[in-house]
Amino acid sequence: MTRIFVKAKPNAKENKVIPPPLKLMPDAEDWYTVSVKERPAEGKANQAITKLIAEHFKVPHSQVRLISGATSKRKVFEIKN
């Protein structure tokens, strides 16, 4: 399983995933920036972020799980390989 750290940007103009900058020595907490058009109400933005992450990593939606930060802009997701 892989954990990724996400900075969420709801109410964006477009849906997109921006990976962290490439480094020679990757840190454990490199943050992805995920922008979604959905509003942060009733979990809709979290669902949209989960779907985008699944598409970005080419895994089924069911393999991506939000493990912390449900009401925060900083979130941690787990991806099952």
pLDDT, tens digit, 9 for 90 and up, residues 21-49: 776 655 556 889 999 999 998 999 999 99
52-78: average pLDDT? 95
CATH of domain 2-79: 3.30.1200.10
Domain residue ranges in the chain:
2-79
Query: Does residue 2 surpass a pLDDT of 70?
Result: yes
User: Exposure string (b/e) for 24-47, b if CB count within 10 Å is 16 or more?
Assistant: eeeeeeebbebbbebebeeeebbe
Tokens of 62: 């069911």
- Is 59 within 8 Å of 48 (Cβ atoms)? no
Give pTM, 2 decimals.
0.88
The pLDDT of residue 21 is: 79
